[in-house]
Structure 1
């Protein structure tokens, strides 16, 4: 089919709405996960952990962290897998994709060399689960290289993660930030579909284009041939657009202010951010202090369909305050924009249960 044609303004509106960041807020964490496909888990808590700030940015003040725990641990409508909370509806297709990763030579050979260890882990969970990783003995014969430095020498968490990607174990719940593991058959539904690799590939691509709204055929957001072709004014190449998002373009509820965690999925595709929004985003967390422009973990500020600044703030729970070091404006805000950002800062303060510090700059 001939490509659709979109202005860059309309492409941005589609992207913002697909990520549930427009004025029409979703109802609960399950609705958010079904649309986005993944709610990133990260413990960095300058304001709040990523999973909670992602949900607050979309649901607003009514969101409570207990809602997420209930959806995962009691209702089993969401699950934790591969560093994110995901909708249970996506699991059969996701597992097909993730199992391919465990078939790489390096992983396959490590599992084969630790066949006895693998059996020990599964047997311990079958007999005693659910268990923390610390409660499972490390009987590994061969250790995996720790090139990244993120892991301890204990091989149990690494074996559990591989078995989770293979669909044999699952995170049953969390105790604080610690995962409690069990056999997948006791966590997941017993009637999971068994898609072919091609069915899974197609389903995952369709979910990605729905979550993105609009994206390039390949790259960080691999939508491939899902959706429909579209040309964006001023940008090279053919993009793919979610046909439902395109059809709803005229039904526009308008924009709002949103503060995005640096690990928010909206920010993951850096090239798309640059192309559509003119926003060249660089995570400051891993830059040397003298090179940081906006502080250690500043949150990008979305104003309608443009990234307008950075919120540099810290939830100081010991002092019992939210401290706003600065609201960095890429271009000077007008009075209405400034007041909208201030109102959202006050909403964030109210949601956290932390009053603004006396020295906050907002």
Structure 2
């Protein structure tokens, strides 16, 4: 069995190149979005929008001149990508739809138990009513359907129509036709999927075949990943350690995965065999430029891995009480080459107003050179173009410099 030995620096460089975070950019414009999603399997979706949604922040760091309408066209125009459940709420390639039947079945059981615990099981009884309504009236928001109930036990969905349609979405009866801001406009899944995708049957003849596809795919979501419990193994099936160990061993035995040993880290790592050629590409020099990372970026899924390999401790503190936050509400890491050198907290940005940086924290103030500062400013120029902002506010320059 082939074994690969890497230093932490070599692993960092591989991850940066694999994730398309290096310069010059590997993934180009509109077509590059689909290429990147196909490589990593899925991108995690979150509706919060401080300086762009998480999904847009992921893509702006990888796609030159990225604009959110590119993603909207891919998802709701060309139907190349689709909303679905993977690690968490995510987007993935539409052609993968049939492969996720077991995930949808597991979500069905999970949501039925959840609704039962919340005394909201009645929502499930409205499935046929909602399906008939959409069949006769077309795609709609949950608020357009009145099921005679205005409040649900003070949690989550405010109406049965919302709970019912979310349930139907998760189990594959409904799909998202479009989004109005963060609200999903639902349609019958057969009206959302391309005909050939809708008609495709589950390609796996047994659970084991699915597990091998799914576990291997999850390794590819990060690039090289270890077998210990962590953020990269969140989700159905992959979080089951005993099953995971069995499947990873089988995939190694079959040559689908290669085992990787990382200097100074006492964990088993794995890489997809077809991705191993990228190791050589990562050894070549790439331009050291600054990039701002999304809070739920694939590179950051496993906080322990980030700490061990990048020597960077990161926690997304959006849901942490203000008094317990170490940094701030919405903080973005700053990547420079293969190192994470800083983090910053922006103010909410809308329109063409200047972008305001509330706080900036350098990891190592002694390593801040004029070259680094210039690269930070260059990145903000690109970032402000993405935001359609007029540029950084005057005060923000002082915050970055620590004055």
Q: Above 0.5 in TM-score?
A: yes
Given that residues 229 and 239 in structure 1 are in contact (C-alpha distance below 8 angstroms), is that contact kept between their aligned partners in structure 2? yes
Given that residues 3 and 229 in structure 1 are in contact (C-alpha distance below 8 angstroms), is that contact kept between their aligned partners in structure 2? yes
Q: Which of 192, 203, 207 is the equivalent residue of 2:217?
A: 207
**Distance in 2 between residues matched to 1:25 and 1:351, nearest whole Å:** 18
Map residues 251-270 of structure 1 onto 2, 5 A cutoff. 251-252=281-282, 254=286, 255-270=288-303
Cα distance per residue 1:134-192 (max 9 Å; x no partner) = 11223579x9766xx4x233122222222222211111111222211011111113332
Given that residues 42 and 221 in structure 2 are in contact (C-alpha distance below 8 angstroms), is that contact kept between their aligned partners in structure 1? no
Q: 1:261 to 1:152 in 2, by over 3 A?
A: same
Map residues 235-274 of structure 1 onto 2, 5 A cutoff. 235-252=265-282, 254=286, 255-274=288-307
Q: Which of 185, 195, 199 is the equivalent residue of 1:191?
A: 199
**Distance in 1 between residues matched to 2:102 and 2:149, nearest whole Å:** 26
In structure 2, the partner of 1:29 is: 33
In structure 2, the partner of 1:358 is: 394
Q: 1:112 to 1:299 in 2, by over 3 A?
A: closer
Map residues 1-362 of structure 1 onto 2, 5 A cutoff. 1=1, 3-23=3-23, 24-27=25-28, 28-60=32-64, 62-82=65-85, 83-104=89-110, 106-107=113-114, 114=123, 116-138=125-147, 149=155, 151-189=156-194, 190-196=198-204, 197-219=207-229, 220-222=231-233, 224=244, 225=248, 226=251, 227-252=257-282, 254=286, 255-317=288-350, 320-332=353-365, 333-354=368-389, 355-361=391-397, 362=400
**Distance in 2 between residues matched to 1:327 and 1:321, nearest whole Å:** 17
Task: Using structure 1 for the length normalisation, give the TM-score.
Answer: 0.89
Q: 1:349 to 1:169 in 2, by over 3 A?
A: same
Deviation of 1:130 (Å): 0.7
- Number of residue pairs matched? 357
**Distance in 1 between residues matched to 2:153 and 2:200, nearest whole Å:** 34
Cα distance per residue 1:2-55 (max 9 Å; x no partner) = 532211111112222222212233123222221222222223222111121111
**Distance in 2 between residues matched to 1:114 and 1:132, nearest whole Å:** 16
Tell me, which stretches of 5 or more residues in structure 2 are unaligned? 239-243, 252-256
Over aligned residue pairs, what C-alpha RMSD do you find? 2.6
Cα distance per residue 1:178-229 (max 9 Å; x no partner) = 2110111111133324133333322222222122111112523237415221
In structure 1, the partner of 2:254 is: none
Cα distance per residue 1:276-317 (max 9 Å; x no partner) = 212221223233434434332120011121211102222543
**Distance in 2 between residues matched to 1:300 and 1:19, nearest whole Å:** 15
